[in-house]
Chains A and B, each alone.
Chain A
Amino acid sequence: MKILLACSSGMSTSLLVNKMKDAAKKAGFEDEIWAVGQNEVGDAIQEADVLLIGPQMRMIKKKMEELGNEIGVPVDIIPPTTYGRVDGEAALKMAHDMKK
């Protein structure tokens, strides 16, 4: 599964990406997980199966949902607590649940 994360410059979400990759390895998933900044997300979403947005960038959700609806990519905001704890497992589970 291809999981895309987005925040302002892809900096803080990349922290979570590493934790998610660890969690995916542990669970035996073959996920491709990466983070981009908001100026690249419009292109990157074309390649993704789901899009998770950092809570601090939740103002882009509406726009991203419109994009996501066109190509069948679900979009959601990462819960602040998951984000604050850099909880890779919770974020990974969320991504997998969204695609179900």
Chain B
Amino acid sequence: MNFFEKIEEPLMVFGDKINNIKFFAILRDAFMLAFPLTIFGSITLIIANFPFLSTDIQAILGEYLGPASTATMNIMSVFVSIGIGYYYARSEDVDPIFGAVVSLVAFLILTPWLSGNLVEVNDAGVTTNTLLEGVTVITTERLGAKSMFLAMIAGFSSSWLYCWVTHKNWTIKMPEQVPPAVAKSFAALIPACLTLSVFLIVHILFTFTPWGNINDFIYELVQAPLTGLGGSLAATIVAIFFVQLLWFFGLHGQIIVNSMMDPIWNSLMYENLDKYTAGQAVENIVTKPFMETFTVGLGGSGATLIVVIMLAFLIKNKQLNDIGRLALAPGIFNVNEPLIFGLPIILNPIVAIPWILAPVISVTVAYLAMASGLVPLTTGVSVPWTVPVIISGFLATNSWQGSVLQIVQMALVGVIWYPFLRTLAKQSEAIV
């Protein structure tokens, strides 16, 4: 056990550090803000694209339900931007609603707008450039997946600057008779003007670069390389390995690893979603719903629903049966703390190998099944991690193959675990 203790200490420190980094905590909260909106958009998308409906009905549903997903998931960067501004300002004891607005405006200042130049398609399907005077637009594409990192960078830098100036007290002081709301709006005046001026200058400077705007610059130089790297099989395996390792020491693996990976996985998800709603082929295998559905969605971290089932019904050992039965109901909804702390999995050398190996192999199989075209990729529809297996696989990919893949993965996890569970049963009998 001494060996384990040696590893536990640095892991604990690492987990504590990551979890308490303000940057990650604020990002987590900002994405939490987007969560109900994403689910709302996802539900309407799932209904509109239900595979057993005729294409005519799908088209009609799509037209009526379309605004629900366009107003939520397709412009997700707006909410991430608002969330970052709000939570950052709140953490600095600055009025959060102003932080949110400043962050959003900073993001919008850096976003390319189109003025008086709309592309229109006429009846014959010919694309023409039509000049519409007096019309200014931001395309939803600029507020969605491709602007996620811009929204994050603009959000954090503008909030930091806004709070910094506010704390400098370069505000206009109002006499006490002035109503608080009025005084508040004046208090925000100088910090907001200063912060936004900086972003306006950045915007102007970027019009002189080959990119023309900072949105494309950040997408090409930061977001695309990072999401490309983070969406690779190797990175996914590393992420899962760390999740399992942290859980093995009884630390919440996802909360620590996802802090770092969620911005990437979410961006990849919204990219798929943009393609999916536009009727194009989706491209990203690894996305947030991929991670939720084909790893955690199989019974919790470690994909342990099948393990719980085997413990409850297959293994001939009263004590293990009891643990399995206790963990079964929560396990169906992918909550497996009763197993992790009950079996226990933490610091248990017998189960260390399957605990870490099974999800790594199982996610590799899922990746290859999608890369080879056997199973359709995730559509970008968000599926909460508490949705039970088989249902979640269907919802995430909008196909029955997704469910079949989950069944195959579970079988695989079961095969890997079985010999170790027998060892566990024998050992517990020996003790009795």
Residues of A within 8 A of B (CB): 7-8, 11-12, 15, 38-39, 54-60, 62-63, 80-81, 83-86
Per-residue CB proximity of B61-75 to A under 8 Å, as 1/0?
Answer: 000000000000000
Which label, helix, strand, loop or mixed, suits the secondary structure of the A interface?
helix
Shortest Cβ distance from residue A41 to the other chain B in the assembled complex, whole angstroms: 12
Task: Write the chain B residue with the least CB distance to A81.
Answer: B341
Question: CA separation between A83 and B341, bound complex, in Å?
Answer: 6
Contact pick for B250, options A56, A62, A85, CB 8 Å = A56
A7 near B252 (CB under 8 angstroms)? yes
A62 near B16 (CB under 8 angstroms)? yes
Which label, helix, strand, loop or mixed, suits the secondary structure of the B interface?
helix
Given contacts A56-B340, A59-B19, contact A85 B255 (CB under 8 A): no
Q: For chain B, which range describes its interface: under 10, 10 to 19, 20 to 34, or 35 or more residues?
A: 20 to 34
The 9 closest A-B pairs by CB, nearest first: A84-B341, A84-B342, A12-B337, A59-B16, A56-B252, A80-B341, A83-B341, A8-B255, A59-B15
A12 near B330 (CB under 8 angstroms)? yes
A15 near B335 (CB under 8 angstroms)? yes
Which of the listed residues B28, B250, B254 has the most CB atoms from chain A within 10 Å of its own CB? B250
Question: CA separation between A52 and B337, bound complex, in Å?
Answer: 15
Q: Does B247 contact A (CB under 8 A)?
A: yes
Question: CA separation between A38 and B337, bound complex, in Å?
Answer: 16
B341 contact set on A, CB distance < 8 A: 55-56, 80-81, 83-84
Question: CA separation between A11 and B330, bound complex, in Å?
Answer: 10
A60 contact set on B, CB distance < 8 A: 19-20
Task: Write the chain A residue with the least CB distance to B87.
Answer: A39
A80 near B346 (CB under 8 angstroms)? yes
B338 contact set on A, CB distance < 8 A: 12, 15, 83-86
Contact pick for B340, options A39, A62, A63, A84, CB 8 Å = A84
B344 contact set on A, CB distance < 8 A: 80-81, 84
Contact pick for B252, options A8, A85, A86, CB 8 Å = A8
A58 near B254 (CB under 8 angstroms)? no
